[in-house]
Amino acid sequence: TDTGWAKAAWGCLFGQWILGARVFVHNTPRFETKVTLHLLSTAGITSFCAPPTAYRVLVQEDELQKKTYPTLRHCTSAGEPLNPEAIAIWKKATGLSIYDGYGQTETVNIVANYPCLPIKPGSMGKPTPGFDVAVIDDEGN
């Protein structure tokens, strides 16, 4: 994720630093699926945060099923809902769910899937505590 986006700052840097965690950044001009899967498999990475597009191309990669991910414990995504098919393929290959979420630069995370609640694949989750969230049509309903 481009570090110019608030999601990258909060989802990949600030939260981890606040907790004293190590942050692994692999910055390349282009997203490379084989390199990403190799790093997830060998670099001791425990948490992976990527946009839905990255997951969609990773699950199309044959290497996903061929590797093991011994240290990977938590996967997140944001920006748009991730399709249930991609989530299912990822879970089958890694054994891990993808916790999807939604927010804005000004609010950060306002809706998310949480480890303590069941995940509905394709849904971005439940409102974050402290936020009142509603879907309203053009007529205000």
pLDDT of residue 135: 87
> Coil, helix or strand for 4?
coil
pLDDT of residue 4: 60
| Domains of the chain as residue ranges with CATH | 6-127 (3.40.50.980)
Taking only the tens place, the pLDDT of each residue in 24-70 is 888 888 999 999 999 999 999 998 988 899 999 999 999 999 999 99
Contact 50, 1 (CB under 8 A): yes
d(CA 22, CA 1): 17
Contact 80, 54 (CB under 8 A): no
Residue 44 buriedness (CB in 10 A; 0-12 / 13-18 / 19+): exposed
pTM: predicted TM-score of the whole model, two decimal places: 0.81
Residue 107 in this model has a pLDDT that exceeds 80: no
Contact 40, 68 (CB under 8 A): no
